[in-house]
Amino acid sequence: MIIHEAGHFLAARAVGIHVEVFSVGWGKKLWGFTRGGTEYRISLIPLGGFVKMKGETAYQKAVEEGLDEIEPQENSFFSAAPWKRIVVAIAGPAMNLLFALLVLAIINLAGFSYSSFENRIVLADDYPEYHTVSDLPTPAARAGLETGDRILRVNGEAAENYSELRQLLATNALEEVNLQVDRNGQTFQRSAELVLDNQTGAGILGISPFIEPIISSPVEGESRGLEPGDRITAINATEVDNSFDVRRVLDSLPIGTDQVYADITVQRDGEAVTLEHPLQYNQEQDALYLGYYYSQESYRHAADGPLDALASGWNEIGNTLAMTFKGLGLMFRGLDPMSALSGPIRIVDMVGQVTAQGLSQGIAEGLRSFFHLLSLLSVALFFGNLLPIPVLDGGQIVVFTAEMIKRKPIKPRTFFRYQTIGAIIVFGLIAFVLFSDLLYIFAG
């Protein structure tokens, strides 16, 4: 929000509108100074900020005095030409967009490493007890896909790993996608119509990553016999091919008060090794588990240069805007707004979780995760503020554009009613997302 308000501030100064206050935060003033006729302050509530321009509430005074026109004031907001007010209104969202582009370009130029599972898939139909899929067969099964297949491309775009595959599928809810599939070295094409995840708005194919049970490291503490690189091939003489097979065998074992053991057969340095291994009990899930992470592949992303970095950033912004715009339409086709819309509580929680997850892989990754999410939130602010809702920048642009076309200023009372309608809509949305956030907290 500070970036957004800085856009309004700079644009107002550029077109000759006097800015009376530029505040970081809201509420009671904690500290400040005045320079060039503008008071710069830090306020009590550290949520965004605001810019107060000369005469921006003059329409309220005109309404109170029953005037049909706003009294002109030198260097005031409503005395400025409509095109100047449009520039000021656009500048806030534009600054959000520019900030996001620069941050994403810097991230892409610096490059980053990440871990992901392969682009190999497991069908939810084969393990329905571990998937929350309401309708079977899934789109993947209807398209003729099988567990173990690799999805190489979605609508012609390459999916090098499962993370990229998930992102490509997410943007195509309720649409038919063309899939390039590899099965045992044979490549073929399949089409599938994705269903809607009404909680997130993402497209669902009905798959999970095919995770080979290759040991990476213990979840906590010391290893209890398994070593990094061990490939689990059987548990209690039952062959396992992926992580869901492991889960299914462990869930079949009785849970008692005594320590439970299982005979784990692994491939280690080209030889089969069987060892009796203690299992851990997860009280929250009431389930047994091995207590190890499975290995993931490491990938590196880096732009070839500044222009490529900017192009990659712009492409991500475009995808984010497309998803956001499409999400509005999906609310009329089954998307649950209570789950899809996030308020300040969930946003802070999201930022904290993403940053903490990044910091677990190092300070550099933590900073990258934080600024990446910040850039996407900035894109969301760009989109939201340009919606043609009174009070928001988009609503202001509509009014000022109408003034330009009619060559006549809007009457103060009309503008006041327009703003009042917008305020009701915006405060209603705020109340809705706050209520949604509270449900999110109490639901755990």
**158-198 tens-digit pLDDT:** 999 999 999 899 888 888 999 999 999 999 999 999 988 77
Position 394 pLDDT exceeds 70: yes
Q: Which long-range contacts (CB under 8 A, 24 or more apart) does 25-33 make?
A: 25/49, 26/50
Average pLDDT, the chain: 86
Position 97 pLDDT exceeds 80: yes
pLDDT in tens, 209-250: 999 999 998 888 777 789 999 999 999 999 999 999 999 999
Q: How confident is the model at residue 359 (pLDDT cuts 50, 70, 90)?
A: low
Which pLDDT belongs to residue 190? 96
Contact 388, 99 (CB under 8 A): no
User: Which residue did the predictor score with more confidence, 346 or 306?
Assistant: 306
End-to-end alpha carbon distance in the chain: 28
Find all residues with CB under 8 Å of 331, minimum gap 6, and list them: 337, 340
Query: What's the mean pLDDT in 354-383?
Result: 78
Q: How many residues does the chain have?
A: 444
User: Which residue did the predictor score with more confidence, 45 or 440?
Assistant: 45
Segment among 363-367, 418-422, 425-429, 432-436 with least mean pLDDT = 432-436
Which pLDDT belongs to residue 332? 64
Which pLDDT belongs to residue 425? 86
Find all residues with CB under 8 Å of 22, minimum gap 6, and list them: 5, 9, 38, 39, 40, 41, 49, 51
* Rounded percentage of the chain residues whose pLDDT exceeds 90: 42
Segment among 93-97, 150-154, 257-261, 357-361 with least mean pLDDT = 357-361
Position 48 pLDDT exceeds 70: yes
Segment among 118-127, 251-260, 323-332 with least mean pLDDT = 323-332
Query: What's the mean pLDDT in 291-297?
Result: 90
Which pLDDT belongs to residue 162? 95
Find all residues with CB under 8 Å of 393, minimum gap 6, and list them: 89, 90, 92, 93, 385, 386
Among 63-77, 311-325, 334-348, top mean pLDDT goes to 311-325
Which pLDDT belongs to residue 360? 59
Query: What's the mean pLDDT in 325-336?
Result: 67
Residue 239's Cβ-count burial label (10 Å; 0-12, 13-18, 19+) is exposed
The secondary structure of 378-440 as a DSSP string is HHHHHHHHTSS-TTSHHHHHHHHHHHHHHTSPPPHHHHHHHHHHHHHHHHHHHHHHHHHHHHH
Find all residues with CB under 8 Å of 337, minimum gap 6, and list them: 331, 432, 436
The edge-to-edge listing of strands for the beta sheet with 150-154 is 157-158, 150-154, 176-183, 186-193
Tokens standing for 334? Answer: 């089954």
For the full predicted model, state whether its pTM sits above 0.85: no
- Domains of the chain are 113-212+295-301 (2.30.42.10), 222-284 (2.30.42.10)
CA 350 – CA 194 distance, rounded (Å): 26
